[in-house]
Structure 1
Amino acid sequence: MRQITVMAGPERRRRWTDAERLRILAEAAEPGACVADVARRHDISTARIYTWRHKLRQHIAVPQFAEAVVDGGDDKVPDVTPQPAVVIELGSKVRLSIFPSAPVALVAATLKALR
């Protein structure tokens, strides 16, 4: 026959309400707050706070956008035409412009042909 031991007393596994979880998460998210300190105050592990935070982010899934600031001081449109990196003039009728985006092989072949 086997022996079974029944332990009476408080259960170690605690149940947290959603309101308690949100309060602890808000406390951990305050500027300058340390998750380890918040966890110690509430006698829970830091992993528990990070797990709750992860689950909350999955549940909410709200995209975050950065605020755009438009400076209305200058209405000029910037010049976006690319400037050549090298300009080679051969006489009065031949001008070769090499842009930074040009492939090296093409530039080498062109210069070789101009010899």
Structure 2
Amino acid sequence: MEADVQMDVQLDVATPGYVGRLEVVEGPTGRRLRTEGERARIAAESLMPGMQVAVVARKYGTTRSQVYDWRRRLRLGELVLPESAEPLFAPLLVDDAQSPLLPPKPPKSAAAKVEIVVGDAVIRTTVEVEQLVQVIRAVRASR
């Protein structure tokens, strides 16, 4: 290596004044200017059930730590969702009347005592009549 007399630095090339390969990358620099509303929407999307911060960050071209910071600011009230944003939660309405599409639930049936004898083994149990009917139907269908 030879010393560059003009700048007094070491160069790793033999030709004086030759810098080497220079690559120019065009396009966005990575720094994006987002509005407060965009930041709040991204943070709110990452708070939705089942969403992962890494997936949301990748979708919008940002880092996880940035999304976590926006989430913190959203919780503290420093970021506010714009009025035009869709609501995150819908009101829940409960109708006590039974739906005509669903069949009514049958009343609880009385318990029956059942004794099953297999060889010298005896099984005694109490079972609801409806369950016993379902078991008998299943046994008959399996034949």
User: What TM-score, normalized to structure 1?
Assistant: 0.40
* Larger relative strand fraction: 2
Whose Rg is larger? 2
Which structure's relative contact order is higher, taking Cα pairs within 8 Å and 6+ residues apart? 2
